[in-house]
Structure 1
Amino acid sequence: MSTQDPSGSQPEGGGKPSFDKPSPPPADGPGGAPGDGPTDRPGAYGGTYGADPHGGPPYDQPPPGYGPTDYGSPGGGPVPGMPPLGSWPRRILARLIDYLLVQAVAVIVVAPFASLSDRSGEAGAFWLACAIYLVYDALMLSHDGQTLGKKAVKVRVAMLVDGNIPSPAAAWTRAAVFILPAVICCAALWWVIDGLFGVFDQPYRQCIHDKSAKTVVVSTA
């Protein structure tokens, strides 16, 4: 009488189990289909602080030297995988580059209608520059987290919680909080207050416009 179980299947390789075939990779999305989840967008959170926006591997580990109390967080570390915070010289230079670019566009638009003798075009150029900057900043940040100035100095804006590219709502909120108070009141005074808030903020050096949008500025270098 045969002792073979007719209901069982015969293993490959002469009756020995085969481990040559790798298991299929897990699906990205919650529904089981690749691309359904958040990993199809740069910077998606998956236990890391998002992907390098320039096409590199994810920031899945904190950079060397970033220990438990980095970013000024007493008793706790940075968000997992967070790259170094953007330095103040880089952040200020990025703003200056963007401001000069936008102001140049505004001056070119207003110049044909302005009078150099009575400086009648200065106010118009400033108001137009603010409007252009608001739209420019929001659209660029919601695209890849960087304006032209930020690309030049190698910093980017990310959502604090996971490192994602700012959502449109966060990008517009950040831009509006930076620009609108300056238009309503004293531009220079507001920008000084906004900047100084970030200098003393711990642990992520968020200015008021970052706090309002729940974003942070990190280095890409």
Structure 2
Amino acid sequence: MNTSSTPLPERPSEPSDQPSLASHGLRLSAFLIDCALLAVFTMTLTSLAPVIFVDMTERDARSMVVPILLLLPFLYSPIMTARWGGTLGKLVCRIRVVRVGIPDKYHGGNISYWRALTRHLSHAVMTASCIFLVLDHMWSFWDRPNCQCLHDKIVKSAVIMR
């Protein structure tokens, strides 16, 4: 029985225009795919640095890669999310990030670059603290009706099925 102040949405017997929310498993899968892709990119770029920067020592060449690797997560996620509704991991898992309207209806459109950047930065800040990381993701288990993590709530977004 739901005892929260916000009632759970009713499950209609007929199909609805309302998109289905992405499951926690799909969201985790998308995150792990993105981590794997970023790890492969990082290893590849680091390995190729001495070849790309031929006139430098191997150590100097690899140090040239550091700024790219530091900027990559802050460009990759926000740009992909703003333009295509999600990162490569989300696209593979057939989920997307959308704006949430009032009262808790999906607008269905992609979030802006600035909202996507804020979403990513808030997630990164919470990841720096294990307590906030757990709280951020656990929040979606009891949040209704949109099952939002805290980083989704901050920018008024939700993750839905494509």
State the TM-score, normalized to the length of structure 2. Answer: 0.70
Mapped contact 2:8–2:145 kept (Cα < 8 A): no
Mapped contact 2:83–2:110 kept (Cα < 8 A): yes
Whichever of the two has the greater Rg, that structure is 1
- Where 1:180 maps in the other structure, the secondary structure is helix
> Which structure ranks higher in relative contact order (CA pairs < 8 Å, sequence separation ≥ 6)?
2
- Count matched residues: 137
Which runs of no fewer than 5 residues in structure 2 stay unpaired? 50-57, 102-106
Give the alignment partner of residue 87 of structure 1, picking from 19, 23, 42: 23
Please tell me the root mean square deviation across aligned C-alpha atoms, in Å. 3.0
Gap change, CA 1:219 and 1:98, over 3 Å in 2:
same
1:133 positional shift:
1.9
Q: Percent identity?
A: 26
Tell me which protein shows more helix as a share of its residues: 2
Q: How far does the alpha carbon of each residue in 1:55-91 deviate from its partner, in whole angstroms, 9 at most, with x for none?
A: xxxxxxxxxxxxxx9xx9517559x832110011101
- Where 1:107 maps in the other structure, the secondary structure is helix
1:143 is the counterpart of 2:88: no
- Where 1:166 maps in the other structure, the secondary structure is coil
Q: Distance in 2 between matches of 1:84 and 1:180?
A: 28
Mapped contact 2:119–2:151 kept (Cα < 8 A): yes
Q: How far does the alpha carbon of each residue in 1:142-198 deviate from its partner, in whole angstroms, 9 at most, with x for none?
A: 00212111111111100011111111221111111112343xx34x55432211112
1:179-194 to structure 2, matched below 5 A, reads: 179-182=124-127, 185-186=128-129, 188-194=130-136
Q: Distance in 2 between matches of 1:137 and 1:104?
A: 16
The code of the aligned residue for 1:179 comes to: A
Q: Distance in 1 between matches of 2:17 and 2:158?
A: 14
Residue aligning to 1:42: none
